Structure 1
Amino acid sequence: MPPLALPYATPAEYLAAERKAAEKSEYINGHVYAMAGASRVHNLIVVNTVSELRTQLRGRRCEAYANDMRVKVERTGMYTYPDVIGLCEEPRFEDENVDTLLNPTVIIEVLSPSTERYDRGEKFAHYRRLESLREYILIAQDIRRIDHYLRDGDTWVLTEVSEPESALVISSLSCTLRLSDIYDRVELSAVGSPPRA
């Protein structure tokens, strides 16, 4: 992802500009990166996932956010917008604007051809520095498959969920996501051309 025009920005400059911007951007190591728009399939998967989580979290002190909640990885200084965030503890925010979360418990990203390598690699390396993060979930949008990383001490254990009738248990949230619900109304044959997200 190419940086925007600013050759370097401080975190304060990034936040000041981001809070006024019409489009979202990430901040990594002093550079600001524009975020691409999302495809129909990407949006369906995100909405399906958040809807299932919200239903299961109702009446509990847990929260789920989609797309627009910024997360800061304090140890690396990265600011980003995960597709879906979940937490069951008191949310901590960077400042009084209450728009930059510091303690996500679960982060979910929907993969696309343009972001998959980044989401699996450098972005996950940043996310692993979040002490609060217990689960990292990657949802494919070209096939029915979820890769689930669960923190076990200093180790991340990977499991795959791909059988048509299978379900993913998100233990940190005490929620279960069935593959059929995540991919509801998603026509995988229609995903032949690369999505924009």
Structure 2
Amino acid sequence: MSMLPSGDRRVDFSDWHRQYYQINDAVIAIHSAGEDTPVVYLHGGGTWHGLGFTAGLTDYFKVYLPHHPGFGLSEDNPKITSVSACVEHYEKVFETLDLQRFHLIGTSLGGRIAAEFAARYPARVSKLVLVAPGGLAVLEHPLPDLSTVAPQDFPSYLVNDMQVLLPFLPDGPDEKFTSMRTRECGAFMKLVGQTGLDNPNMPEIYNTLPRPP
């Protein structure tokens, strides 16, 4: 086993239970809190922006927050080189956790993974919530060319209110923060590098997802 990443020091995990699991020959970190009905949250292209989005969820649900391979506190896994492979990875994760049916939430990259998981394994997902999901091109609202965005301006493209992110951003040079973002960027590109963030089949995938009655 390689040395596990130590994580972002600005993110408070004190109210969460952390466990590590070996899946496909690599160790992943999963945080959980709450009780009763299980909810899985799949994060986007980074793990550095805190857990404020879960406020209130743990009062009603047992919430699981896994880190994708190569992100946050999870080890890199050279076997996972696409979103499709990541979907198969999570099928094994949920089997390991004995989660047969659960609510699934995904944001950005996690939204694409969640949508494709729900389309492939519809019987496993009772409700699906997609927040600014990656993978679905909307012609009326094209994505900006992020390759032209300066690094210092990138956070402003992630939120409407920068005050949400400021507590998690360094106020000066921070070698560890930069190293973790470089690592996560590499993991992100490994997942979407062959196809891009948009999946041309996503409209059809979305149409196959179960709709509420």
**TM tier, smaller:** 0.3 to 0.5
Q: TM-score, normalised by structure 1?
A: 0.34
- The higher relative CO (CA closer than 8 Å, separation ≥ 6) is in 2
The structure whose residues are more often strand, as a share, is 1
The structure whose residues are more often helix, as a share, is 2
